Amino acid sequence: MIRVGVMGAGGRMGREICRSVVAEEGLELVAAFDRSYQGMEIGALIGMPVEGVLVETDLDKLLDTVEIDVMIDFTVADAMRVNVPKVLKKGIAVVTGTTGLSPEERAEMGKIAEENNTSMFHAANFAIGAVLMMKFAAEAAKYMPYAEVIELHHDKKLDAPSGTAVTTLAKIAENRAPMRQGMEEEYEKIPGARGGEYEGMRVHSVRLPGFVASQEVIFGGLGQTLTIRHDSISRESFMPGIMLAAKKVQGWKGLLEDLENIMD
C-alpha cells in the first residue's frame, strides 16, 4: 500500500482527493493537512469511514509523526512555496496540481526532490480530456496558426490565466512562429479587452460561479474557424489522473511534468 497524505484536505478539491484515495486500490490515506479543522476526523469531513486520521494544522508536526510515501498538494502558490520544500526534504514524493508558480520555481523544487532522493510530479490539469484538448490544439496549430484561448473557471480561483491555458499556449507556440494577431491599428476602449498576450496569441480568463474548469481554443483560417473545447463538469474529472500520478510518482527522481508523460 502507498501511504498518502493530502495538503489542503479541508477544501473542496482536497476533500474530493481524500475520498478518491480512500476508494482507490493500492492507496491508503494516512495524513490530512489543512489550515483549518484541527483535530477533526477526516472521515467526518469527507463522509467516509477513515480510521485514525485527524486533520493537522501543523505541517512540521505531521511530517515528524506520520510515515508518508506520497503527499498530494492542491493548495495555492504561496502555501506551496513554503510547504512543498519541507515535504521533499523529508524524502516524501509530491504530486501537485497547484498553479501560479513559475517554471523556474518548479524546477528549483525538482532540484530539492533530487537532492533528497525523491520525486515530484506537476500537471496543470489532471483531466484526461484536457490533456487531449492540449494535444489536439498543438496539432491544429501546424495548419491554422491564428489562435485565441478562452479559459473559464470558478470565481474562487486566484491566478489568471490558468495553468492549463499557459501550458496550452506554450504547446501551440512550439508549432507556430510568433506573430501579431489583429490589426496593427486596433485599440482597446476598455483596457484589457483584448486579453493577455503570448507570442501574439490572445488569452481571456472568465471567473464566474458555476464553472469548475473549462477551456476552448479557437483557430481562425480563410473562411473557417475551428474550436477545440474541454469542460470539467465536476472535480471528479481530475481524480483518475491524480490517482495515477500518486501511484507512479515514486518511479523517478526529481521533477516530471504533464500528465501525458505518465499515461500508458
Alpha-carbon distance values, 138 to 168, 218, 228, 264 (Å): 8, 12, 11, 20
Residue 153 annotated in active site:
yes
- Tracing cell 504561496 back to the chain, one arrives at 78
- The dihedral formed by the CA atoms of 206, 151, 166 and 237, expressed in degrees to the nearest 10: 120
Find where cell 509530491 sits.
94
Which stretches of the chain are assigned E, i.e. beta strand? 2-7, 27-33, 55-56, 70-73, 93-96, 119-122, 146-153, 196-198, 201-207, 213-221, 224-232, 254-257
C-alpha 159/C-alpha 161 separation (Å) is 6
Question: Which of the residues 89, 122, 157, 230 is marked catalytic?
Answer: 157
Between CA 148 and CA 144 the distance in angstroms is: 11
- Given 153, 204, 247, 248, which residue is catalytic? 153
Is 230 designated active site? Answer: no
Q: What distance in Å separates the CA atoms of residue 45 and residue 214, rounded to the nearest whole number?
A: 27
Residue 41 bridge partners (DSSP): 54
Residues with catalytic function: 153, 157
